[in-house]
Amino acid sequence: MTDGAQLKLFNSLTRQMEPFQPVHPGEARVYSCGPTVYNYQHIGNMRAYVFADTLGRVLRFKGYDLKHIINITDVGHLTSDADAGDDKMEKAAALSGKTAWDIAAFYTAEFKRDLNWLNVTPPAKWTVATDYVPAMIDYAKSIAEKHCYELESGLYFDVSTVPEYGRLARAVTDDGEGRIEDVNGKRSPADFAIWRKTPLGETRQMEWDSPWGKGAPGWHLECSVMSAAELGMPFDIHTGGIDHREIHHPNEIAQNQAHEGCAHTGASIWMHNNFLIDRGGKMSKSAGEFLRLQTLVDRGYHPLAYRMMCLQAHYRSELEFSWEGLGAALVRLKRLVMGVEKIDATTKTEAKEQTFSAAEAMSIVHYGHFAEALSDDLNTPLALTEFENVIAYKQTPAVIKLSLIREMDRVLGFDFTKLTRQDLRIRPKTATITEPEIEAALAQRKDARAARDFATSDRLRDELAAQGVEVMDGDPLGWDWKLS
Ligand code: AMP
Ligand code: ZN
């Protein structure tokens, strides 16, 4: 089932909403910048993939044949200036005593587990940067003469050789050059390394022979090469977090222009999710402890509560993380799961033959609003409200509501017809009370209330609360974790 509304997306290149017009009719080819696998991903990083997943799901919902690529950066991404431009992978290897390859394998697996927890659909292909090094060398060779110059430290791209460098960022400043080593001899601060030579006398774990000596590809080069190799040029949509709008993507565009020999930027539409922020500073890996999906699970929050939190905000809005906000998202998800469970149960008992009613029509009207909201630059907050409206109409036959729910869930991605409230009840890591102990205390409390012994009933409730268990009178599941 699809709606007729034209899909409009906000293009960071033009800073305008634009109709989606695929390069290849009926297809949608999308490339998302993936993680650098030197550490765990924080929940801010995961917002970028929930966003890319939502985009992919909407494209499929609209009937396009989706080809989505996400890369794994396992070489070439530099640390800040202060580290004098180390490769993040090499640095992590030196600190841990493990090989860069082992580190990459470990954090890639952790990342994929987090995606799975969030119901993020796997891409058609994961492109791993180190698998494409020969292609990167060929690509660099083809643009070297016209667009690059060689220094002792590597091969650098001269940004003055392409038209409108930095148009995506809208401001050419030296800020943000932190990801690029400050190198003597660069013609412009915005020039960037596409090949970084291993310094004389040093050996790196990850290095390859090239016409410019032993070394490793630059981070920006990787994405241009892998997107061209897998999707062809030009393709439809390139995504990433908003930080990439400033340096990484302008540099990809410059390379694409150099390689394609034309003004085309590579992708027709460049889309960027805004940041998840945390006032406590827990969203920066360099600052030490940071929030991971596992941290949320350890505190008793189901990962899909975080998915809900992301969808409740528009992807272009900044989203502030708080435990209260996450708790509210979990409650909303539970209510929806309960609603769907009820509708599912009703389908088994309601009469087969039903006449078309006005209420049924109302659910379908809201389904239309749901689809329109998504066509309007992926307005998931509004789509969620419309989802709630669809299931709210009591008179609509359950069987119809269920089929609408299934359709909408293709985009929302909660697996509503399988997810149970029991699944959402996750035991916090630090909780000591066992579930049978909770059930026993609740049974005792029930007896006390039946005997109108409210003092005992209140005492039991307080004792449970002290152990992180909140008693919810009137709720069919009866209790919930609430560790603070
Ligand atoms: P990285 O591993 O640093 O390349 O980041 C992976 C993805 O997460 C990129 O698309 C970044 O733009 C994105 N990202 C980084 N920090 C945040 C954040 N706090 N909120 C949302 N996205 C982020
Ligand atoms: Zn990239």
Are 154 and 197 contacting, i.e. CB atoms less than 8 angstroms apart? yes
Q: Is the pLDDT of residue 166 over 90?
A: no
Q: pLDDT above 70 covers what percent of the chain?
A: 92
Q: How far is the CA of 44 from the centre of ligand 1 (A)?
A: 6
| Average confidence (pLDDT) over 394-416 | 93
| Domain limits, the chain | 20-273, 293-422, 425-483
Q: pLDDT tens digits, residue range 101-120?
A: 899 999 999 999 999 999 99
Cα atoms in the 13 Å half-sphere on the side-chain side of 183 = 24
Lowest mean pLDDT segment, chosen from 118-122, 164-168, 173-177, 351-355: 173-177
Distance 45 CA to ligand 1 centre (A): 4
Mutation probe of ligand 1 site: the residue of 38, 45, 110 with most atoms within 8 A of C-beta: 45
Residue 83 pLDDT > 60, yes or no? no
The ligand 1 atom nearest the CA atom of 34: 6
Chain-centroid distance of CA 417 in Å reads 23
Taking the C-alpha atoms of residue 390 and residue 90, their distance in angstroms, rounded to an integer, is 52
* Biggest CA-to-CA distance, the chain: 89
Lowest-pLDDT choice from 36-45, 79-88, 408-417: 79-88
Whether 293 has a pLDDT exceeding 90, the answer reads: yes
Residues 401/367, Cβ–Cβ less than 8 Å: no
Give Cβ neighbours of residue 312 (< 8 Å, ≥ 6 apart): 329, 332, 380, 381, 384
State the pLDDT at residue 356. 58
Average of per-residue pLDDT across 136-161 = 96
The closest ligand to the CA of 70 turns out to be 2
- Whether the pLDDT of residue 281 is over 70: the answer is yes
Q: How far is the CA of 311 from the centre of ligand 2 (A)?
A: 23
Q: How many residues does the chain have?
A: 484
Tell me what the mean pLDDT of segment 272-290 comes to: 85
Closest of 253, 315, 235 to residue 10, by C-alpha:
315
Going by CA atoms, what residue is nearest to atom 21 of ligand 1? 275
CA–CA distance, 329 with 334 (Å, rounded to integer): 9
- Ligand 2 centroid to Cα of residue 249, in Å, is 7
Specify the ligand 1 atom closest to the Cα of 48.
22
Mean pLDDT (whole number) for 416-445? 91
* 3-state secondary structure string across the chain: CCCCCCCEEEECCCCEEEECCCCCCCEEEEEECCCECCCCCCHHHHHHHHHHHHHHHHHHHCCCEEEEEEEEECCCCECCHHHCCCEHHHHHHHHHCCCHHHHHHHHHHHHHHHHHHCCCCCCCEEEEHHHHHHHHHHHHHHHHHHHEEEECCEEEECHHHCCCCCCCCCCCCCCCHHHCCCCCCCCCCCCEEEEEECCCCCCCCCCECCCCCCEEECHHHHHHHHHHHHHCCCEEEEEEEHHHHCCHHHHHHHHHHHHHCCCCCCEEEEEEECCEECCCCCCCHHHCCCCCHHHHHHCCCCHHHHHHHHHCCCCCCCEECCHHHHHHHHHHHHHHHHHHHHHHHHHCCCCCCCCCCHHHHHHHHHHHHHHHHHHECCCHHHHHHHHHHHHHCCCCCHHHHHHHHHHHHHHHCCCCCCCCHHHHCCCCCCCCCCHHHHHHHHHHHHHHHHCCCHHHHHHHHHHHHHCCEEECCCCCCCEEECCC
Do 302 and 308 meet the contact criterion of CB atoms below 8 Å apart?
no
Its sign, for the CA torsion 401, 411, 311, 338, is: positive
Q: Which atom of ligand 1 is nearest to the CA of 36?
A: 2
Q: What is the pLDDT of residue 90?
A: 80
Split at pLDDT 50, 70, 90, the class of 357 is low
Q: What is the pLDDT of residues 115-143, one digit of tens each?
A: 999 999 999 999 999 999 999 999 999 99
CA of 350 relative to ligand 1 center, distance in Å? 48
Q: How far is the CA of 432 from the centre of ligand 2 (A)?
A: 44
Query: Ligand 1 atom closest to Cα of 239?
Result: 10
Please give the Cα distance from 280 to 264 (Å, whole number).
41
Ligand nearest to the CA of 221: 2
Rounded distance, CA 368 to CA 375, Å? Answer: 11
**Cis before 211 (ω within 30):** no
Mean predicted lDDT score pLDDT of the chain: 90
**Ligand 1: which of 243, 252, 315 to mutate, judged by most atoms within 8 Å of the beta carbon?**
243
Task: Ligand 1, residue 33: give the atom nearest the CA.
Answer: 10
Residue nearest (by alpha carbon) to ligand 1 atom 19: 44
- For position 259, what pLDDT does the model report? 96
Q: What is the pLDDT of residue 152?
A: 92
Tally Cβ neighbours within 10 Å of residue 425.
Answer: 16
pLDDT tens digits, residue range 445-464?
A: 999 999 999 999 999 999 99
Residue nearest to atom 11 of ligand 1 (CA): 241
Which atom of ligand 1 lies nearest, measured to the CA of 283?
19
179-200 pLDDT, tens digit each: 445 677 889 989 999 999 999 8
Ligand 1 atom 1 nearest Cα: 35
In the CATH hierarchy, which top-level class contains the domain 20-273?
alpha beta
Considering every ligand atom, which ligand is closest to the CA of 243?
Answer: 1
**Closest atom of ligand 1 to CA, residue 276:** 20
Q: What are phi and psi of 219, to 5 degrees?
A: -60, -40
pLDDT digits (tens, 9 = 90+) for 219-269: 899 999 999 999 999 999 999 999 999 999 999 999 999 999 877 899 999
What is the model's pLDDT at position 419? Answer: 97
Closest residue by CA, ligand 1 atom 12: 241
Give the pLDDT confidence score for residue 249 in this predicted structure: 96
Q: Ligand 2 centroid to 103 CA: how many Å? A: 20
Q: What is the pLDDT of residues 15-44, one digit of tens each?
A: 999 999 999 999 999 999 999 999 999 999
Angle between helix 323-347 and helix 303-311 axes, rounded to 10 deg: 100
Alpha-carbon distance values, 180 to 78, 148, 185, 476 (Å) = 7, 16, 14, 56
Name all residues whose Cβ lies below 6 A of ligand 1.
33, 35-36, 44-45, 47-48, 240-241, 243-244, 273, 275-276, 283
